[in-house]
Structure 1
Amino acid sequence: MKPFLIALIIALIGFEVSAQQIVKGKVYELDTKNKEVLLEGASISWINTSKGIFSNANGEFAINAQGIADRRLIVSFVGLQTDTILVNDNKSLKIVLKSNGKQLDEVVVAQQRESTMVSVQPRKTEILTSKELKKAACCNLGESFQTNTTVDVTYRDGVTGSKELQVLGLAGSYTQILTENAPVITGLGTTYGVYGIPGTQIDQIHVVKGPGSVVFGPESISGMINVELKDPMRADKLFVNGYLDGYARAELNVDKTFKINQDLSSLFSFHIDRFKLKMDQNEDSFLDMPMLQNINVLSKWKYEAGNGWFSQNSIKYLNENRQGGQSHFNFNNNQLDQSIYGQQLKTTRFEFYGRTGFVVPSGNYKSLGLQYSYVLHDLSGFYGPRSNNGRQQSLNLRLIYNQAIGKHNSINAGASYRLDKINEQFGTLMLNNDLNMPGVFVENTYTSSGNRPLSVIVGGRADWANGELVFTPRGNVKWSVDKNTDLRFSVGTGFKTANILAENANIKVSNREVVIQEPLKFEKALNYGFNVNRKFEIDYRKGSIGIDLYKTQFSNKIIPDYDTDPTKVFFHNLTGKSFANNIQVEAAYFILKPVELKVAYKYLDVFRKTDGQRIVEPFVPKHRTVASLFYESFNRKWNANFTWQWFGSKRMPYLNEIFQPEISDYNNYSRSYSTINLQLTRNWRNFELYLGAENLLDFRQQNYIVGASNPNTGFFDASYIWGPIEGRRVYAGFRYKIDR
């Protein structure tokens, strides 16, 4: 009985895939004064393999040693001497890199530290570090991709200010968003969930194009975004961030870590975001930006013992009140005055998620564990005369067993369970979107040895989703042609349930009638892609270039039809075919020792074919170009970031000739436009001041609300939005920290 209880306890605690046989340490560089300085962005990899990682902002790393026969670590950084470390035990390593003499001095080397990296794993993963996030004000996750090309941040409507994160040109619901590998942003949280993660809480963001690992579920069709928050054992003792912009939007963030004992630490984080100015720059009687108050509290605990046990758990509470509509609407009267249009949405969220695990103390590199999450989401409010209320409860469990097989293979196998109870009411429409989905999965990673290593990930899962058995196969291949060139290929399927109100919140800010024409099936798609990445060095200055090609083909997709009748939106299953083609080219180079240039171009072709007719999906720009310059002074006291973005035209939903005069510049396709963001930062030892401007050229879409003069009784739609509506935003802020 006792062995059974021990096994049961292990099964009921949990473990992340990376918590296996781990080698940890810190990387330092030796400056000109022989002082050891923590080194961010150093490359750490096992010799003759493609398994490696980068050190974080505190110089720390933790690398998996499963299946590694030759236990020598290669530690390198541009401008510093590469070192080889023999790992004989599991003690924490201290690695000090010295200058190789090719740079003038230590401060020049500092300019080469990467803020965005590509992982060495077979599945291409872009890693945005805290350094990248600091290039903009980064108030929340939805504002963290201003300098990134892979993820598009798009406006959804002109009343609530909602935005979504799009990958490969597809709606945000096709991108799986995880918080520390936990699927907490789903269902009702899809619309405003990205506002619930303050940028200052984020340590890294991992972005995967196309299908992610089968371990994390079948939902990642266009991509996966995993947000890693600050580590209680490695974050600063105290961090305070204050922000204020020219529109009187104010924000305060306070993070405090506590070391309970040698094995246990915690992080407490408090965030408040407040904006109460009634602003109507285009004089259409509607607020340009919603009034907002967002309060966010996070408590994160981490236990890490030397006997193989690991546990990390987070509790989060969010309370948000979002108010929009006409500027003279009195919110104290709620919905009593039907002659004036108002919008209000109150959201309360409780999240609990974590992972706890155990590495079996043997030479076979075995581990077992469970990841878990629970979300309670309540919303109440109204959009004009129509009320909107909803409640969601979600439970996710994921049991994982990991074991190395020989020298070249590592297998992940396990089972998962997902339960969603989602009820939403919008006007007279009542929707229940419940999901009961147990599943099993297996994934094997193969890595060859030699000078040109080949890595292959093959996995699959089977899910019993509301009584329907669905298989999800996925595969990734990486071939290192040489030490500077990687080729990758990915292919896989995915499926998801549709929550049409949460995923199409723009229909709520309209008088359109919602018509569901038939029972809606699971959305299913096949995605495959190819990319090549090449690193180079010219005149001791490094650079890189990458080319991505991806295609998504849906076997079923829920279509919101805005074109048939402007007064209605029809939802139906896909008839015909639906495609999304993506081409992206991105290059980076240090044109001067302290100046990094990044240039990227993206082409999107998203359309469906029905009855021989090719229909371009609305609100998707076919072309996008991004160019940015980042400067950091030799003494690290000053840095500046300049970002220019150009967006091509987007197809707009059909608007009947009767209503076209409501938008004076309406056309079947929007205008192209460009924006410029700029930020300057002054650094002291523990204090930073930053000043910036977004949309520096003050470009605005002037008309985006149809029927603004008669919103409650006539035809009204505030979702004809294709560009910025806020105008130029000037801001200032500070960051203060006490180092660990």
Structure 2
Amino acid sequence: MKQIILAIALFYLIPYSCYSQSILIKGKVLFQGEPVEYANIYVKGKGKGAVTDSQGSFTIALNETGSFTFQASMVGFQTSQQVVELLNSGNSDLVFNLKEMDGGLDEVVVSGTMQEVSKLDSPVPVEVYSANFFRANPTPSVFESLQNVNGVRPQINCNVCNTGDIHINGLEGPYTMVLIDGMPIVSGLATVYGLTGIPQSLIDRIEVVKGPASTLYGSEAVGGLINVITKKPENAPLASADFFSTSWGEMNLDVGLRSNWGKKIQSLTGVNAFYYDNPIDNNGDGFTDVTLAKRISLFQKITVARPENRLFTMAGRYVYEDRWGGQMGWSAADRGGDEVYGESIYTSRWETFGIWQLPTQEHLNLQFSINGHNQNSVYGTTVYNADQYIGFSQLTWTKTAEKHGLLVGLTYRYTYYDDNTGATAHLETDHNAPSKIHLPGVFIQDEIKLTPSQSLLLGLRYDYNSIHGNIFSPRVNYKLSSSDKNTTFRLSAGNGFRVANVFTEDHAALTGARDVVFAEELKPEKSWNANANLVKKIFTDNGTFIALDGSAFYTYFTNRIIPDYETNPNQIIYANLDGSAVSKGFSLNLNAAWANGISFTAGGTLMDVSIEEEGIKSRQLLTERFSGVWSVGYEFFRLGLTLDYTGNVYSPMRLPLLGPLDDRPEFSPWYSLQNIQLTKKVGEKWEIYGGVKNLLNFTPPANSIARAFDPFDEGVLFGPSGNVVPTPGNPNALTFDPTYVFAPNQGIRGFLGVRFTVSD
């Protein structure tokens, strides 16, 4: 009898003791054999999880035995699952080998030093945004996608044709260099028109460098650079498609295809198409709220397998766009006429770029890019036709010694620009005289490893501009990291320069609403910049990851070119600033991830951008003092749903008024653009997503276009000096003007889309 009682007791007690004992499950998450940090590990149905540390390791405690499904996920990678039978001991050999979804580890950057390095090891602070970051708020162009990047703001420059540029830390678009795969192909005319038509299905990541990068990249990289990195063919999906439409009637399609041309050539083909042909005037000013556009973009990239793994990659892109905005009754028959006002732009642009590693013992790379841009446009009755061709080549030599990483480069850039304005007319003969600029240069950079945790980067560049002469650009960067690399401090200082072309960079000069006046021959702008950056990563015991990234920046300009809208409301006066301009401020980024599937990113930038001339200090037009962005994501593991809530907020900006009688507010209001999206995975290949954009339905005031009812100024009286004379029909002395713009005119709208991906 005693034996029976003992047996029954053991029958109940043994399972109970196994159930109550904490079982530790340990493992690692790897990519191509390397540890992956910040990956989320989740035990389905148990609400348990962890985040991997810098070694890719994780530990999860469970209080029961049985069969469990472990899931590893991370932005940029395919979700991986394993089913594990747990008895009474932990599995210490649980290993997840992740496969790429978007083509690469976010921790590899190239923009800061022109060489692929770990983001942690880069002495230059580089912000990296994966393709999945932008999927939280899908848009038809890179221009719109950047609205959720801290310190970066897409600025609409015209209420009629909706062209714009990218501001970094308060500096306008011409101060930002945009590159594709490290090649400076987006410049000149494309500063305004070239940020659309890049197939987003082919984008691996976007790298952002804030502050002068002229030492490596030359002119235009004064405020910073945006480097669009496309996928490597070997890492891209076999086929992908992404289509979405909005309740306003916009439709966007992205298609990507990977193929092999024989045994040694891999190809990546992309197509982007955008269509919007639904005139809407919700604010009742008689003009289209959003520009109508038809756009097609073709992209082709190939890589060739060469002996000793030498690199050869070549790519090309062609973009054609037909866009117009204007009075609601406008049609193509009214193009250039004076009865119905419209702004119509035909853009045709081609680009080719690549890199070839020379077959030598030394590491020599030849990079090249060539692009052509043709624009046929009218702004009311003002016709603007232009052609621009830019050729760029660069030969770099890299050499690594015990404590030195040397980079030496020879560059040459040729710019041809011709238009139908006085900018390319010979002053004496009035004959056409296209602008031709030769810009040879040389640069050297040395990254010195002072200690295992400290490095110093020194750089110097010399360029000779065939019009403006010698230009020098030095820089210095210092980095200090803690032994566990969870804390990194960077200090940077450098010089930037920019040679300006008003007609290719400032859309306001082309609208025809104002006369363009050059008070003097424009000289190159110069700037000095200092930046301090601190990054802190925190791992908690409950699987939470937090990263803080703070920067303080200061930029001082001389010879800055400031368009003067206020001296004469009927003119834009361009001249070099007889004084100084300063952009200074502080920015902070926060990234956090919890094991339960919640991820959170947020950022804020507080800045002061001012101009001082003749002892008078003023605030720069169209520049906010504060901006903030956020993105909140939550994954419902059991339902296969992902919820994304994104948004931004901007403080008031000083706006261009048309004189002392203009009764419109001098400053814009606080405003916020917010979006929400749900994404549902259907099997391994399909995704369905949808949501609402501009949840608060914010739009600028209806009087943003001055005298929208009189676009040809038929009811405006001008005085002898060209100033507007107040009349009973025009008591505020206004002229037709679309430059009073600070936010998109497009209100709330729904969207629905579908994605299809075949990995192998």
**Normalized against structure 2, the TM-score is what?**
0.81
Distance verdict in 2 for CA 1:429–1:392, change over 3 Å: closer
Mapping for residues 265-280 of structure 1, pairs under 5 Å: 265-280=266-281
Q: 2:629 aligns with which of 626, 644, 650?
A: 626
- Aligned match of 2:488: 486
Q: Do 2:693 and 2:749's aligned partners in 1 also have CA atoms closer than 8 Å?
A: yes
Please tell me whether the aligned partners of residues 264 and 305 of structure 2 are also in contact (alpha carbons under 8 angstroms).
yes
Name the CA shift for 1:200/1:618 in 2 (closer, same or farther; >3 Å).
Answer: same
Identify the residue that residue 229 of structure 1 maps to in structure 2.
230
CA positional deviation for 1:553: 0.6
Residue number in structure 1 paired with 2:688: 689
Q: 1:517 to 1:203 in 2, by over 3 A?
A: same
Q: 1:108 to 1:147 in 2, by over 3 A?
A: farther
Asked if 1:671 is matched to 2:631, the reply is no
Instruction: Note closer, same or farther for the CA distance 1:202–1:354 as it changes in structure 2 (3 Å cut).
Output: same
* Whole-angstrom CA distance in 1 between matches of 2:519 and 2:600: 50
2:749 is matched with 729
Question: Is the partner of 1:173 in helix, strand or coil?
Answer: helix
How far is 1:525 from its partner? 0.8
Partner of 1:416: 411
Quote the Cα distance in structure 2 between the aligned partners of 1:280 and 1:103.
Answer: 59
Count of residue pairs brought into register by the alignment? 654
| 1:87-486 equivalences in 2 (<5 Å) | 99-101=58-60, 109-110=72-73, 119-120=119-120, 121-212=122-213, 214-336=215-337, 338-358=338-358, 360=360, 366-405=362-401, 407-426=402-421, 432-450=434-452, 453-467=453-467, 468-482=469-483, 483-486=485-488
Asked if 2 retains the 8 angstrom alpha-carbon contact of 1:107 and 1:634, the reply is no
Q: 1:322 to 1:112 in 2, by over 3 A?
A: closer
Q: 1:126 to 1:103 in 2, by over 3 A?
A: farther
Aligned-partner SS, 1:350? strand
CA RMSD of aligned residues (A): 2.8
The alpha-carbon deviation at position 348 of structure 1 amounts to 0.5
Report the CA distance shift for 1:478/1:103 in structure 2 as closer, same or farther (over 3 A): farther
**Unaligned segments of structure 2, at least 5 residues:** 1-23, 40-48, 78-104, 110-118, 426-432, 717-734
1:515 to 514, 517, 525: 517
Letter in 2 for 1:222: G
Shift of 1:107: 5.2
| More displaced 10-residue stretch of structure 1: 469-478 or 502-511 | 502-511
> For 1:64-83, what per-residue CA distance to the aligned partner results, in whole angstroms no more than 9, with x for missing partners?
xxxxxxxxxxxxx9744876
**Which residue number corresponds to residue 99 of structure 2?**
none
Match of 2:583 in 1: 580
1:727 maps to amino acid: G
- Checking the alignment, whether the CA contact within 8 Å between 1:444 and 1:457 is kept in structure 2 is yes
Counterpart Cα distance in 2 of 1:235 and 1:319: 25
Shift of 1:112: 7.8
SS of structure 2 residue aligned to 1:146: helix
Partners of 1:509 and 1:41 in 2: CA distance: 56
Q: Structure 1 counterpart of 2:384, which letter?
A: N
Residue pair 1:510, 1:717 contacting (<8 A) in 2 also: no
Shift of 1:130: 1.5
Query: How far apart are the structure 2 equivalents of 1:726 and 1:427?
Result: 35
Rounded to whole Å, the distance in 2 between the matches of 1:636 and 1:152 is 35
Tell me the SS of whatever aligns to 1:444: strand
What's 1:698 paired with?
A: 697
Q: Aligned to 1:530, what secondary structure does the other structure show?
A: strand
- Give the AA of the match of 2:479: K
Contact 2:526–2:559 at 8 Å: present in 1 too?
yes
Cα distance, 1:288–1:131 mapped onto 2, change above 3 Å:
same
Partner SS for 2:699: coil
Amino acid at match of 1:717: D
Deviates more, 1:458-467 or 1:213-222: 213-222
Identity of aligned residues (%): 26
Q: CA deviation at 1:599?
A: 2.7
Report the alpha carbon displacement of residue 622 of structure 1 after superposing the two structures with TM: 0.6
In the TM superposition, what is the alpha-carbon distance from 1:724 to its structure 2 partner?
2.8
Change over 3 Å in CA distance of 1:637–1:261 after alignment to 2: farther
With over 3 angstroms needed to count, the CA separation of the structure-2 counterparts of 1:706 and 1:110, relative to structure 1, is: same
Change (3 A) 1:326 1:427: farther
Cα offsets for 1:22-52 (capped at 9, x unmatched): xxxxxxxxxx9999998599757xxxxxxxx
Deviation at 1:466, TM superposition (A): 1.5
Change (3 A) 1:41 1:282: farther
Question: For the structure 1 residues 733 and 466, does the alpha-carbon distance in structure 2 shift closer, same or farther, using more than 3 Å as the test?
Answer: same
260 and 449 in structure 1: CA distance in 2 versus 1, 3 angstrom threshold? farther
8 Å contact 1:78–1:109 — kept in the other structure?
A: no
* Cα gap change, 1:40 to 1:404, in 2 (>3 Å): closer
Q: Provide closer, same or farther for how the CA distance between residues 616 and 78 of structure 1 changes in structure 2, counting only shifts above 3 A.
A: same
**Structure 1 residues 506 and 193 mapped into 2: Cα distance closer, same or farther (>3 Å)?**
same
1:206-262 CA distance string (max 9 Å, x none): 111112373332431111111111221210111111111111111112111112244
Residue deviations 1:426-463 (CA, integer Å, cap 9, x gap): 5998695432100011111122444xx11211111100
Deviation at 1:373, TM superposition (A): 0.4
Distance across 2 between alignment mates of 1:261 and 1:37: 34
1:172 is displaced (CA, Å) by 1.0
Please give the alpha-carbon distance, in whole angstroms, between the structure 1 residues aligned to 2:365 and 2:106.
31
